Amino acid sequence: MIEDMPFAPPIAIAVGAGFRRDIASLAQMQNFLKEWPLAAGDTLHAKALSACEAARAGDATPAQTRRAFMAFAKAAGIGWTGIDPVTTLRRAKVRTMRAARAGRERHPR
């Protein structure tokens, strides 16, 4: 039985308020899946968890396990897009503030 297996590169997912979390090993992946709130009929979650167990038994490759987890992450809407939500929101706020300021300067009361 395999205790753990590193993933290179780690698998990035979005958690919480869209913050990035890296899943860097089989143990981290399995723990994440075990903590995930289950929905009725969540077959991709079950497949990803089964893939982790198969990898621990030596019956699945890291690539197979990774693909199963990525399918689950995509379906769950937690796949990392590469967009940092905090930076995106800050930039939007700055643009809004600048537009409002420019509007006031063009149309003073």
Which pLDDT tens digit goes with each residue over 9-19? Answer: 999 998 877 78
pLDDT higher than 80, residue 2: no
Which pLDDT tens digit goes with each residue over 61-82? Answer: 989 999 999 999 999 988 888 7
- Its sign, for the CA torsion 69, 16, 20, 95, is positive
Residue labelled with tokens 């979005």 = 14
